[in-house]
Amino acid sequence: MSLYLIALLAIAIAPGIAIAIYIWWRDKYEREPPITVAISSILGMFAIVPAIMLELTGEKIFGKMNGANLFSAGFHAFFIVGFSEEVCKLAALMIYAYRSREFNERIDGIVYAVMVSMGFATLENVFYAIDGGISTALMRMFLSVPAHATFGVIMGFFVGYGKENIVNAQSSKEKQAGVLTIFVGLFFASLFHGAYDFFLFIESIPLLAFGAVASLIVGIKLSLMAINHLSESSSDGRQWQ
C-alpha cells in the first residue's frame, strides 16, 4: 500500500472516529459499552447498501438530478438522498442498539444514532476519497462528516425521548406518541440532510453552496444544545430499566 493511499484513508477515517469518541465521551455518567458502540457503527456501514438501492431506484423512477433545476435538485436532496439515507440509518439503529438493554437513557439515543451515522459517513467518505483524492477527503472532513453527525444527533435526540415514552407508556395512546416522536426525529434528520445537500446540488446560482455551510453551522449549534441538555438531564442517574 502506497504512502499516499495510507494518508488518504487516514484523512477519510479520522474525522468519523474523532466525532464518535467525542460523543461517547460526552455520555459521562454511564458510557455505553465499546462492543455495542462498535456494532452500531458497523451496522451504519451496512446501511449504505439499502440506501444506495433506494437512491438508484428513485433515480430510475424519477430520473437523474438536474442541478440547474431547483425542483429537481430539491426533490433529490430531500427525498431521494436525504430521506433514503436517514431512514436506512434509523433502521440500523432500531434493529440493534434501540433493542439493547444498554439503551436506557435519553442521551443514549444520541450516542447510538451518531455511532450509526459515523459508520455510514466513514465508509461513504472512503469511497469518495478514493474517487476524488486528497482535496475531496479534506473537504468532506470539515463538511460532510460533521454534517452526518448533526443528522445523527437530531435523530437520536427524538429517538431517546421516543423510547422513554414507549418504555414508560401506561396506555396505547402514550406508546403511539412515543413511536410518533421517533418518526419526528426521522423527519427532522431528513430535513436537515436535505437542506445541506440541496445547497450543494444547485448549479444554477453562484455561491449558493455556502448555504450548505450555513445549514451545517445551524445543525452543529442545535446538536450541541441537544447534547448539553441531555447530558445534564442524565446526571440524576435515572434509567428506564
Q: Read off the pLDDT band of 207 (50, 70, 90).
A: low
pLDDT in tens, 175-202: 999 999 999 999 999 999 999 999 999 8
The region, left, alpha or beta by phi > 0 then psi within -120 to 50, assigned to residue 65 is beta
Does residue 98 carry a pLDDT above 90? yes
Q: Read off the pLDDT band of 236 (50, 70, 90).
A: low
- Cell numbers linked to 159: 429517538
Per-residue confidence (pLDDT) for residue 240, from 0 to 100? 60
Per-residue confidence (pLDDT) for residue 13, from 0 to 100? 96
Q: What is the mean pLDDT of residues 138-144?
A: 93
Could you tell me which of 193, 207, 202 has the C-alpha nearest to residue 147? 193
Contact criterion met (CB below 8 Å) for 238 and 161: no
Mean pLDDT of the chain: 93
The Cα–Cα gap between 163 and 240 comes to 9
Does residue 39 carry a pLDDT above 70? yes
Give the whole-number percent of the chain exceeding pLDDT 70: 95
Does residue 28 carry a pLDDT above 90? no
How many Cα atoms occupy the beta-carbon half-sphere of 44 within 13 Å? 28
With H, G, I as helix, E, B as strand and everything else as coil, classify residue 150. Answer: helix
Model-level pTM greater than 0.75?
yes
Contact criterion met (CB below 8 Å) for 227 and 111: no
Contact criterion met (CB below 8 Å) for 201 and 170: no
What is the DSSP secondary-structure string of 13-75? HHHHHHHHHHHHHH--SSPPPHHHHHHHHHHHHHTHHHHHHHHHHHHHHH----TT-HHHHHH
How many residues are given for the chain? 241
Question: First and final CA of the chain: distance in angstroms?
Answer: 48
Among the ranges 110-119, 168-177, 229-238, which has the highest mean pLDDT value? 110-119
